[in-house]
Amino acid sequence: MMIDHTSLNAQPENEDFSGKYKNEGIIAKYLVNNYFKAVERLISKTKNTESSHEIGIGEGRSTMRLKKMAVGLSGSEYVDYMVRIARKNNPDLNIFQESVYELKHENKSVDLVFLLEVLEHLDYPELALKEIKRISKRYLILGVPREPLWKLLNICRFKYVKKLGNTPGHLNHWSRKEIVKLIEANFGKVIAVETPIPWIIVLAKKNGTQ
């Protein structure tokens, strides 16, 4: 099937992701630290990874943590001004602009792909996963909010109450079972799952790989 990537990218992301992984509160820091400890545990389960790439890095704050854990890391972001900020935050890495629907890597060229807190914002999550599958040689580590816990916690802190706790820009909502099903239908076998509150983080291995 031919995909019109121009139409997919016609509406650039205009949400404010500047606070992502940057909250200074004690509880927020604790939760975010647990998040990246979970990511690190999943990375430790991968084998023979010599290259890695993070998609949808925003200002590159997650990338600042990942480069201490992952080998041969690069990063990309669709929103141009965020690319500039991410480069300033990660001057030692190759950071460039690209769409998750039209990635610039060659087929099977990246051992490990990261997609952290991006999929819930996408209009076409299945297409994104299939494009990631194209460039991935072996693995995907993907993180999304855990629903309905995410919405419930928002309501408990009186955030987005009129929207029943849904964070603005979250177009998709998955439970652990649902996100595993989606990944296995569009990428490969899920081999490990971490659930640091309030997220789900999944390690999947591309079908047909050793």
In tens digits, the chain (210 residues) has pLDDT values of 334 444 444 344 444 444 455 556 888 899 999 999 999 999 999 999 999 999 999 999 999 999 999 999 999 999 999 999 999 999 999 999 999 999 999 999 999 999 999 999 999 999 999 999 999 999 999 999 999 999 999 899 888 999 999 999 999 999 999 999 999 999 999 999 999 999 999 999 998 776
Residue 173 forms part of a structural domain: yes
pLDDT at 15: 44
DSSP 124: -
Q: Give the count of domains, the chain.
A: 1
Residue 133 forms part of a structural domain: yes
Query: What is the number of other CB atoms lying within 10 angstroms of the CB of residue 147?
Result: 21
Residue 4 forms part of a structural domain: no
pLDDT at 114: 98
Q: Hey, what are 79's tokens?
A: 């929103």
Residue 84 forms part of a structural domain: yes
The alpha carbon dihedral of 33, 66, 112, 150 has a sign of: positive
CATH code at position 183: 3.40.50.150
Residue 163 forms part of a structural domain: yes
185-209 burial: b if 16+ Cβ within 10 Å, else e? ebbbebebbbebebbbbbbbbbeee
DSSP 161: G
Burial of 80 (0-12, 13-18, 19+ CB in 10 A): exposed
Residue 151 forms part of a structural domain: yes
Closest CA to 157 of 18, 31, 21: 31
Residue 126 forms part of a structural domain: yes
Residue 2 forms part of a structural domain: no
**From residue 135, how far is each of 14, 53, 78, 113, 175 by CA, in Å?**
26, 10, 17, 8, 26
Q: Which residues, 6+ apart, have CB-to-CB distance to 19 below 8 Å?
A: none
The span from the CA of 150 to the CA of 113, in Å, is 24
- Domain residues for the domain of 114 are 21-206
